């Protein structure tokens, strides 16, 4: 994947571990845990994306919304997203992820059908795993056909924690607010 030249990064400590956020002035471009499977080298390389700990509208908004999400006060993210260059198929799958309801799950097969590729379940799984903006583009809501927790690039324990948090919010009918 190719990210914009003006991408910067910030590290934030979440309840599930350190998160590296990447953003441009136009939107959030990435969110990864330290042990994320598809973590881009630009996060850790000496000549990679510069650290930006000062004021930055997108990074500040992302951190505030993530904190509210983990505090169980936010069910819908409003921070703008600027996805990196990707294939049309990947973009279609990621768009399908954005349609998944808070507190609910769907199977990879259901997502394949929803994105118009009913026989491309494995390819959908690969695209889901390569989602660069986890949590905000909710790839953790996709489960196996039998409901089993499978395939989260941030780790299955985090996937379980995110789903439990959202299901708890859904049971308490948290309004979708910004």
Name residue 14's beta-bridge partners.
17
Q: Cα 153 from chain centroid?
A: 10
The backbone torsions φ and ψ at residue 167, rounded to the nearest 5 degrees and listed phi first, read -70, -35
Rounded Cα gap, residues 80 and 78, in angstroms: 6
**139 catalytic, yes or no?**
yes
Rounded Cα gap, residues 37 and 11, in angstroms: 17
Largest CA distance in the chain: 46
CB environment 32-67: b (16+ within 10 A), e (fewer): bbeebeebbebbeeeeebeebeeebebbebbbebbe
Which residue among 74, 81, 139, 153 is the active-site one? 139
Rounded Cα gap, residues 12 and 21, in angstroms: 8
The catalytic site residues sit at 139
């Amino acid at each position: 994947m190719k990210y914009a030249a003006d991408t910067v990064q910030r590290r934030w400590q979440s309840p599930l571990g350190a998160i590296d956020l990447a953003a441009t002035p136009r939107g959030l471009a990435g969110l990864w845990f330290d042990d994320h499977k598809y973590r881009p080298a630009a996060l850790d390389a000496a000549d990679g994306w510069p650290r930006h700990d000062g004021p930055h509208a997108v990074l500040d908004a992302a951190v505030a919304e993530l904190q509210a999400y983990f505090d169980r006060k936010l069910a819908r993210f409003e921070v703008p997203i600027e996805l990196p260059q990707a294939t049309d198929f990947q973009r279609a799958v990621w768009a399908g992820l954005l349609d998944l309801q808070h507190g609910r799950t769907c199977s990879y097969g259901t997502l394949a059908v929803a994105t118009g590729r009913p026989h491309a379940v494995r390819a959908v799984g690969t695209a889901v795993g390569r989602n660069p903006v986890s949590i905000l583009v909710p790839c953790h809501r996709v489960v196996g056909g039998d409901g089993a927790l499978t395939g989260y690039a941030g780790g299955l324990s985090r996937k379980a924690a995110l789903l439990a948090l959202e299901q708890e919010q859904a049971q308490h009918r948290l309004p979708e607010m910004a």
